[in-house]
Structure 1
Amino acid sequence: MGDGFLDRVEENAAVQTWAEKTQREKGDSLDEGYVSDLWDFTRVTVAQNNLQELKEIWDQWNNEVRQLFYLNYGDLPYLLDVKVDKRLFRALAQFWNPAYSCFTFGKVDLVPTIDE
């Protein structure tokens, strides 16, 4: 599994290089003169489902089945143990830029991946 992580780091670096090169060549995808306007206040309701049943199914599988699932779906099973921080979610929602589908902090844009 450790090699898979390093492969993804290399893939992410290649994607970042490609994205930067493409943006330099083709420019921005938004209309010229568009200015992002983020909301001052965002209301977010956060709920986390009870995943106990899915955790029990995962626990019943042997290592071979888990590895097969991991190969097909990546790190998805690890999301079963993630606790949602409601305050963090609300804070991040304020910085979500729907025009770019990314988070904007000042002049820095961040695009999370499912792995992150």
Structure 2
Amino acid sequence: MGNRFLDRVEDNAAVRAWAEMTQREKAQNNLQKLKEIWEQWNNEVRQLFYSNYGDFPYLLYMKVNKRLFRALAQFWNPAYSCFTFGKVDLVPTIEEYMALLQCSRIQVDRIYSKMVNVPTFLRKLMNITG
């Protein structure tokens, strides 16, 4: 019985290693495709993208610190959308994220996501209420 358990543990470890390797390869391939698309666009299309989505394309060329992201993921608390260290909850500011990620080109006053289709009633309500 003990051997079957150890075999299962080894099998699980092998499957996990394979899954991590596959995910890394797919992520790298997707990143490369995004870079190729970005490089095919002319300046006019890029400016249109910037006006709608901000500095998002700079993230394509950022060097990722894997140890930092592992540490961040380890302490991320999805229930509260913050980092939890023991009994202390922390929510970094955009400036602190910029320092951690060493990303100085991000505009801190820019929102990076928008609702694409705002229903007419909501739009009218927002205009009325300001």
Q: Calculate the TM-score normalised by the size of structure 1.
A: 0.47
Higher helix share: 2
TM-score computed with the length of structure 2 as normaliser: 0.43
Q: Which has the larger radius of gyration?
A: 2
